C-alpha cells in the first residue's frame, strides 16, 4: 500500500505530498530551508506524551498526550487507552493507571484531532526524539500516514544556550527560568512548562543571531535516525 506523507512544517502547503515527492529532502534542515520562515512567523506545537514505557518501536504505547502553543494555551489534550497494561512504576510516577484510562479513547479515535493541532506547526518537545518516536509510530499505526516535518528539541536548545547548567532536564531548565511546573510527569503540565522554556530560549536564540527557522534547525535539529532516549 502506498503511504502518504502528512507534512507538519511551517511554510509548506496544506496538501500532503507523496513519499516520492519528498525523497530528495535528506534532512529536517533541508526541508526548512525550502521556505525558511522567520521565527516570528512560525507556529509551534509543543508536545508531551506520557507512555507505558520507553520503547516506541517495540510495543509501548501513549497513554496521555498534550499539544500546547508557544503562549501556553492547550491546543489539544487527551488521556489515551493504550490497550496494554500500565507498569506499576509508570503508574506511580505519572498517576495514570488502568482505572484512569479505562474509559479513555484509543489513539485511533483521537488521531484526527491531534493532526489538526499539529498541522502547519513546528514540532517541539523536551527530548523531541522520544516524543516524536511515539507520536509518529502511533499515527502510522492508526492511519498509515508517515509524519514528517521540522523538530526542535528544547533539551538541545538548552545545551546550546545554557552550557553552564549541570543538567538539561525539564526540572532544571524550568527552575533556571523561574518556571513552575504544575503537574510534573503529566502531559499538559510538562508541555506547558516546555512551551514557556521554548519562549525564553527563542528570544535568546534571536539575540544570538537566529532569524529564521533554518537558522535554528541548523544547530539544534533532531537527527531523524537513532533510538529515542529516556524522557
Give the C-alpha separation, 199 to 114, whole Å. Answer: 22
> CB within 8 A of 142, min separation 6: which ones?
107, 108, 111
Distance separating alpha carbons of residues 191 and 193, to the nearest angstrom: 5
Q: What angle do CA 195, 64, 174 make, to 5 degrees?
A: 30
Residue 2 predicted with pLDDT over 50: no
> Mind listing the pLDDT tens digit for each residue in 164-199?
999 999 999 999 999 999 999 999 999 999 999 999
Residue 120 has pLDDT above 90, yes or no: yes
Query: Quick one: cell of 193?
Result: 512548562
CB 154 within 8 A of CB 126: yes
Contact 119, 16 (CB under 8 A): no
**Rounded distance, CA 192 to CA 67, Å?**
9
Say which CATH architecture domain 5-220 belongs to. 2-Layer Sandwich (3.30)
- Spatial contact of 120 and 126, defined as CB atoms under 8 Å apart: no
* Structure confidence at residue 226 as a pLDDT band (50, 70, 90): very low
Q: In this predicted model, what pLDDT tens digit does every residue of 47-60 receive, in sequence order?
A: 999 999 999 999 99
Would the pLDDT of 6 be above 70? no
Does 8 have pLDDT greater than 50? Answer: no
Pairing of strands 44-51, 74-79: unpaired
Residue 64 half-sphere exposure, CB side, CA atoms within 13 Å? 23
Q: What is the pLDDT of residues 141-168, one digit of tens each?
A: 999 999 999 999 999 999 999 999 999 9
Residue 10 above 50 pLDDT?
no
The candidate with the shortest Cα–Cα distance to 219, out of 161, 165, 171, 179, is 161
- Using the predicted structure, report yes or no on whether residue 41 has a pLDDT greater than 60: yes
- As a residue count, the chain comes to 231
Amino acid at each position: 500500500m502506498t503511504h502518504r506523507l502528512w507534512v507538519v512544517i511551517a511554510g509548506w502547503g496544506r496538501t500532503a505530498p507523496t513519499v516520492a515527492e519528498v525523497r530528495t529532502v535528506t534532512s529536517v534542515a533541508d526541508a526548512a530551508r525550502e521556505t525558511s520562515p522567520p521565527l516570528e512567523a512560525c507556529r509551534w506545537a509543543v508536545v508531551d506524551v506520557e507512555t507505558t514505557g520507553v520503547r516506541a518501536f517495540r510495543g509501548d504505547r501513549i497513554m496521555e498526550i498534550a499539544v500546547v502553543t508557544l503562549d501556553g494555551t492547550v491546543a489539544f489534550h487527551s488521556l489515551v487507552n493504550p490497550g496494554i497494561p500500565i507498569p506499576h512504576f509508570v503508574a506511580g510516577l505519572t498517576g495514570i493507571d488502568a482505572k484512569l484510562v479505562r474509559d479513555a479513547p484509543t489513539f485511533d479515535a483521537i488521531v484526527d484531532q491531534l493532526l489538526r493541532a499539529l498541522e502547519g506547526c513546528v514540532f517541539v518537545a523536551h527530548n523531541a526524539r522520544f516524543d516524536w518516536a511515539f507520536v509518529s509510530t502511533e499515527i502510522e499505526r492508526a492511519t498509515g500516514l508517515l509524519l514528517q516535518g521540522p523538530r526542535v528539541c528544547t533539551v538541545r536548545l538548552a545545551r546550546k544556550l545554557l552550557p553552564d547548567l549541570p543538567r538539561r532536564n525539564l526540572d532544571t531548565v524550568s527552575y533556571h527560568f523561574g518556571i513552575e511546573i504544575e503537574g510534573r510527569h503529566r502531559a499538559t503540565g510538562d508541555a506547558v512548562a516546555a512551551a514557556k522554556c521554548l519562549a525564553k530560549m527563542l528570544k535568546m536564540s534571536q539575540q544570538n543571531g537566529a532569524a529564521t527557522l533554518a537558522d535554528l534547525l541548523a544547530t539544534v535539529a533532531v537527527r531523524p535516525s537513532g533510538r529515542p532516549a529516556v524522557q
